[in-house]
């Protein structure tokens, strides 16, 4: 939040980007580990993640159809 305030003070605008990441694995334990790795990488990149279990179709429609539509 402090970085965003500093950017706004410097004259930069607010940009929102939505990306969808699909994670799959052979076992539940491997899936949990893979999700944790993605979440950790997102935190290090100052990105927010939201887990969508069983909501892939709705997420695709909200983020990609029609192309360029904001959430």
- pLDDT exceeds 70 at position 66: no
Q: What is the pLDDT of residue 37?
A: 97
Q: What is the pLDDT of residue 38?
A: 95
Instruction: Name the more confident of 41 and 5.
Output: 41
- pLDDT exceeds 90 at position 3: no
- pLDDT exceeds 60 at position 68: no
DSSP string, the chain: -HHHHHHHHTTPPP-----------SSHHHHHHHHHHHHHHHHHTT------SS-HHHHHHHHHSSTT---
Q: What is the pLDDT of residue 70?
A: 55
């Amino acid at each position: 939040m402090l970085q965003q305030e500093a950017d706004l003070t410097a004259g930069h605008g607010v940009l929102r980007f939505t990306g969808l990441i699909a994670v799959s694995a052979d076992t539940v334990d491997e899936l949990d580990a893979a999700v944790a790795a993605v979440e950790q990488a997102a935190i290090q990149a100052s990105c927010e993640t939201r887990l969508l279990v069983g909501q892939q179709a709705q997420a695709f429609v909200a983020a990609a159809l029609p192309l360029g539509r904001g959430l």
